[in-house]
Amino acid sequence: MNIAWDSTGDGAPLLLIQGLGYGRWGWEPIVPGLAERYRVLRFDNRGIGESDKPAGPYTAAEMAADALQVLDEAGVKRAHVLGASLGGMIAQELVVAEPMRVDKLVLCCTTAGGPDMPPMPDATVKLFIEAPTLDPQVALRRFIENALGESPPAGLADELFALRLQNPPDPAGWQAQAAAGTTFAGTAIESIAAPTLVVQGTADNVVNPLNAEVLAARIPGAQAELLDGLGHLFFWEQPGQFVRIVSEFLG
């Protein structure tokens, strides 16, 4: 599998795992701040960007193996791991499969999966139903706005819209990635020994904020950080705040 990745900065390795439909460009607001203290590794998940796009559906476990491949190619035996949304599911699979490869774990706007998962908020469910009837660019804009919080920075939706147009996902790859999220039934997170931080926006319309409570309760010793009024893309809404929170946790 050819997985495109890059490395920025020095210090303790920090692997970033992005979510559905976002390539490694999706970390742009936080990389400069994190790279002041860490060696930041980011990559395109299979199915998007410059990485291979094999036929799907994918699983979170398969995508976790890709993430481990990045660590191997970067010559990193052990790293901090940070995953957002689908990337958080991938990160859970990674740390359970290879616990000795993970120093500290940060799970952002994600879910533990399984039948007890708090349901997707109504706003996103309704948007998925309506989207096929909309012009594709109108639907894209609506999904971006839906992923932001109560009072996003002026111009952020425009910036994200332009970036999504410049970096369109492969349709088949998007569907294959989506399958990894919808079929994620959870993994043995009760076995996670790595210190874990769960970060969640309280105004997340994509992943029910109650998922943060479930994750923090099931992972031994995990702590939760709730970001008031922020949405699913809180690391775009308040990148400085997010870098500070992550840096204080990782040390």
Q: What is the CATH number of the domain that holds 209?
A: 3.40.50.1820
Mean pLDDT of the chain: 97
Three-class DSSP labels, 141-169: HHHHHHCCCCCCCCCHHHHHHHHHHHCCC
Residue 185's pLDDT is what? 95
Query: Quick one: pLDDT at residue 63?
Result: 98
Q: What is the pTM of this model?
A: 0.96
User: Which residue, 235, 236, 232, is CA-closest to 245?
Assistant: 235
pLDDT of residue 39: 98
How many domains is the chain built from? 1
Contact 214, 112 (CB under 8 A): yes
| 89-109 residue pLDDT tens | 999 999 999 999 999 999 999
Domain range for residue 135? 5-250
- Per-residue pLDDT band for 115 (boundaries 50, 70, 90) equals confident
* The 5-8 sheet, strands edge to edge: 5-8, 38-43, 12-17, 79-84, 102-108, 196-201, 223-227
Helix (H, G, I), strand (E, B) or coil at 242: helix
Report residue 173's pLDDT band, with 50, 70 and 90 as the boundaries.
Answer: very high
Looking at the predicted structure, is the pLDDT value of residue 223 above 90? yes
